[in-house]
Structure 1
Amino acid sequence: MAHPATRVVLVHGAYADGSSWSEVIPLLTEAGLDAVAVQHPLTTLDAGVQATQRALARSSETTVLVAHSYAGMIITQAGLAPNVSALVYVAARAPDAGEDYTALAQQYAAPPASAGLIWQDGYGRLSDEAFLTDFANGVEPSRARTLLAAQGPIADTLFASSTTVAAWRSRPSWYVVSAQDRTINPDLERFMAARMEATTSEVDAGHLGLVSHHREVAAVIIEAAGHRN
């Protein structure tokens, strides 16, 4: 990379908020990168894309755009911004343009976490058991309970839309597979990473590898930025 990125924009997934990147951010800062965590409302794809575009537009500096989980939808749509030099997917959705992600996921065995989703008044959350056992598996227990306390409920409209572009088709991409993921089937993650011809690595982590294996995840982001770790 002739011109290394100086900035990283991090986008959180469903059932979470920007604090899910708390372990990664200090490592990026130590590497000389300016890290920004997007707070998006978990209501619609468009709302998440708009929040991410606002974060990208705050600076013209070359930026690596990073997603965890559902936010892969967001960076796939928003990643064509002119200042985005690379995309990093961390156990994340990586749909093609116009693809029905739900139909794609149904080609693989359903992950255990999906059985723990509870809906009330148009919003969904994971049960405490599903969150701790299937979403945060492998995370130190006290940290997992802190994340549970900050769980972001999702609107029933969040998963309704498809991306209209696939930024990974024209941006260098990296993918971190979570081998012990109980929220997205690891074989689906491997399929998406291979399809996008991403630089791929695996961590022996559950869905929250960005927490339990934050050093490995940060190292991938730093590599994508064109920096030596």
Structure 2
Amino acid sequence: MQNRVLLVEDDDELRSLLARYLSNQGFTVREAATGNDGLALAKGQACDLVVLDIMLPDINGLEVLRELRADTHLPVVLLTARGDETDRIVGFEVGADDYIPKPCNPRELVARMQALLRRVAWDQRTEVNAARVCGDLTVEPDHRRILQNDEALDLTATEYEVLQVLLAHAGSVVRKTDLMQWALGRRLEAYDRTLDMHISNLRRKLGPEGPARIETVRGLGYSYRVPV
């Protein structure tokens, strides 16, 4: 079955180019030129992933993302202005799974999308669905969720992947290069702060002890410390 993608982009030429490319790569593509149209399609039509431009003519992509995150954990890839660090940081805080700067390389966009979709598909079809407990956290792979004291954490698809990898190696250091490959499905590139932003969000969502739970091991990576 073809993966279904919703492409929300107000630049007609770019949207048409990306839609054609994605279709040629085997995706079923729905298009929207405004934030409101994108929200309506995302909520009214089944899709597997959203590619969302931040700069839209009515409501911006970050507001669209906030609305989506109130109802769904669909994987979302943001299209951001090149060099705009603020948009990327806020995007991850709101709940983006990944980003790619514009003008974007369609081949790289497809690679990012496929990595996200592979992770979701793998968790959905894995036979190891038994819950795993790590301190006050419980990983439920069959539901793709993590509970803290029996309450589900509000995690994006990528945050779930990052945290479940850290929990699987609790007490040990997970190298950034490995965590990037295992959780995000791609190599760590120089100056890429995507993983750092997801870690920051996880620390915040884990509460006041978050920074102590996920320890930065300088020059190596991260380690999850189970609270005593």
What TM-score bracket applies, with the shorter chain setting the length? Answer: 0.3 to 0.5
Q: Which has the larger share of helix?
A: 2
Larger radius of gyration between Structure 1 and Structure 2: 2
Give me the TM-score of the superposition, normalised by structure 1: 0.40
TM-score, with length taken from structure 2: 0.40
